[in-house]
A and B are shown apart, each in its own frame.
Chain A
Amino acid sequence: MNELGASLEASSLSQLIKDVTWIIPLLQSIHIVTIGVVFVSSLMIAMRVLGRMRADEPFPAVWQRFAPWMWYGLIVMVVTGALLVVGEPVREFTAFSFWLKMSLLAVAVIATFVFGRTFAAQGGGGAGASATRADTTAARAGVAAAYAGASAAAGSSGASDVVDATGVAAAEFSPGAKAVAVGIIVVWLAVIFLGRAIAYDIEVWGSLSLHN
C-alpha cells in the first residue's frame, strides 16, 4: 500500500490533478452535488418504507423512481472519488477515516441492493423492465384496493387520500424491514461524516489514525 500510494503520488495524472487549480474543487463539487442525489434518493426510499412519503405509490414504483438515480449517482461518486484519491493518495491511504468510509460504503451498497431485491423485484429479479412495469400496475391496483378498504373502514370523508394511504403504507413493512431502512440511512450519514473526517484524521481518531 505504501508503494502504491507513493507511485500514485508521483504519477503524471496525480501531478495534473494537483497542478491544474480548478480540478480538485470541481471534482469535490461534483462529489458533493452527487451526495445530494444519492443520499436524498436513499432517503426517499427509506421514507416510503416508513410510510411517510409517497405513500400513495406502491413501493416498487418508488424504488423504480429513485434506485436508478442512486446507482448512477454512485458511479459518479466512485469516478470523482477515485480521481480525488489519485490527486492525494498518501493523504487518503493514511487516513483511518478513509478505510472506515470505504467499508461502510460497501455495507450501504450491499444492504440497499439486497433490500431492493427483496422488496421491489416482484416475480423474480432479472425480469425485464416490462415485466416489472406490469407487476407495478398490478401492485398499484392492489394498493389502491387496500387504500379504498382502509378509508372505508376508517369511515373518513374529506380526509386526503395521502393521509389514508399513510396508514396503509406504514403497516406495509415489518418493524425489522423499517429498522434496516433506517439503518442504511444512518450508515450513509456515517459515510458522509467520515468523508469530512479524512482531513481531521488525527484529531478524530488519535492513535487509531495511520498518520502516526
Chain B
Amino acid sequence: MSLVSVVQSIQDSGVAEWMRTSVKAMPIIEAIHVLAAATVFGTIFIVDLRLLGFPNTRRPFTRVSDEMLKLTWGAFFTALVTGALMFAANANTYYENTAFRFKMLALLLAGVNMAIFQLVTFRTVGGWNSDARPPSAARVAGMLSILVWLTVIFFARWIGFTKGYHFEAPPADVDFTF
C-alpha cells in the first residue's frame, strides 16, 4: 500500500467529501486553523523569549513554560485537526505541493528542536531556571524555535498561493453606496 494510494483514499473518504461540498465547512475550518496556529506561535514565542533571557526574567523558566503548556498543546491539537480536515479535502493536490512539503519539513524540525531541548538541555534546568540569561544551548533552542515556526507560517501561507485557485473578485462595476 503505497503512500500515494493512502493519500488517494484519504481524499476519497466521506469526511473529505463533506469538506469539499459543504459551503460553510472550509472557510470556518480554515479560520479556526489560522487562529490556532497564531496562538501556537504566540504562546511558544513567550516561552522562547524567556529562553533567550528577555522579559519577564523575574519568573523562573519552568513557571513560564509549565503555565503555557496546556494552551500551546490545545492550540496545536486544534491546528492539527483542522489542518488534517483541510488536507483530506484535497489530499492529492497538497501532497504534490512543494510549499506543503516544506511546511511539513519545518514542522518536523520544530519537533526535533523541542525534543532535543527537552531531552538534553532541559536536564540542567535546575541550574539555570531562575537565571535571567539561560545557557547558550537554551538560547539557541529558543532562537531556532522562533525561526522555524516563522518558516512554518510562511510556507503555510505560500500553499494558498500555489494551490491553484483564486478568490472571487467582485465585478468591476459594483455599486458601492452607503
**Binary interface encoding of chain B residues 39-56 relative to chain A, with 1 for a CB under 8 A from any of its CBs, else 0:** 111110110000000011
The answer for the CA separation of A24 and B30 in the assembled complex, in Å, is 18
Q: Which single member of B27, B43, B63, B170 contacts A200 (CB below 8 Å)? A: B27
In A1-43, the 8 Å CB interface with B consists of 1-2, 5, 21, 24-26, 28-29, 32-33, 35-37, 39-41, 43
The stretch that binds A, out of B7-15, B82-90, B137-145, B152-160, is B152-160
- Residues of B close to A211: CB separation below 8 A: 170, 174
Q: How large is the interface on B (under 10, 10 to 19, 20 to 34, 35 or more residues)?
A: 35 or more
What is the chain A residue whose CB lies nearest that of B33?
A196
Which chain B residue lies CB-closest to A40?
A: B42
Asked if B174 and A39 sit within 8 Å, CB to CB, the answer is no
Report the Cα distance A197→B177, complex, angstroms.
Answer: 21
Closest chain A CB from B153 CB (angstroms):
6
Least CB distance, A58 to chain B, in whole angstroms: 11
Contact between B153 and A192 (Cβ–Cβ < 8 Å)? Answer: no
Q: Contacts of A61 on B, CB cut-off 8 Å?
A: 56
Query: Which residues of chain A are within 8 angstroms of B43 by Cβ–Cβ distance?
Result: 40
A197 vs B30: C-alpha distance when bound (angstroms): 10
Q: Which of A90-142 contact B (CB under 8 A)?
A: 90-91, 93-94
Query: A74 in the interface, Cβ–Cβ < 8 Å?
Result: no
Q: Quote the shortest CB–CB distance from B151 to chain A (angstroms).
A: 10
Interface residues of B in 46-71 (CB under 8 A from A): 46, 55-56, 58-59, 63, 67, 71
Does A210 belong to the interface (CB within 8 Å)?
yes
The smallest beta-carbon distance between B65 and chain A, in angstroms, is 12
Q: Chain A residues near B178 (CB, 8 Å)?
A: 1
Q: Which of B24, B42, B153, B158 has the most CB of A within 10 A?
A: B42
B18 cross-chain contacts in A, Cβ below 8 A? none
Closest chain A CB from B83 CB (angstroms): 14
Q: Inside 8 A of A53's CB, which chain B residues have their CB?
A: 67
Chain A nearest CB, measured from B164 CB (Å): 14
For A24, the closest partner residue in chain B by CB is B161
Q: How far is the CA of A210 from the CA of B38 in the complex (A)?
A: 29
Shortest Cβ gap from B51 to chain A (Å): 16
Is the CB of A172 closer than 8 A to any CB of chain B? Answer: no
When distances are taken between beta carbons in the complex, the residues of chain A under 8 Å from B23 are 203
Partner of B157, one of A1, A29, A56, A94: A29
A95 CB to closest chain B CB (Å) equals: 9
At the interface, yes or no: B132 with Cβ under 8 Å from chain A?
no
- B176 contact from A1, A192, A202, Cβ within 8 A: A1
Q: Mark A36-76, 1 if CB is under 8 A from B, else 0.
A: 11011101100000000110110001000100000000000
Q: How far is the CB of A3 from chain B (nearest CB, A)?
A: 10
Contacts of B56 in A (CB 8 A): 57, 61, 65
Task: Name the contact of A56 in the complex, choosing from B27, B31, B63, B170 (C-beta under 8 A).
Answer: B63
User: Interface on A for B, CB 8 Å cutoff?
Assistant: 1-2, 5, 21, 24-26, 28-29, 32-33, 35-37, 39-41, 43-44, 53-54, 56-57, 61, 65, 90-91, 93-94, 162, 189, 192-193, 196-197, 199-200, 202-204, 210-211
Interface residues of B (CB under 8 A from A): 23-24, 27, 30-31, 34-35, 37-43, 45-46, 55-56, 58-59, 63, 67, 71, 150, 153-154, 157-158, 160-161, 167-170, 172, 174-178
> Can you pick out 5 interface pairs between chain A and chain B where the beta carbons lie within 8 Å of each other?
A35-B35, A40-B39, A91-B169, A192-B31, A210-B174
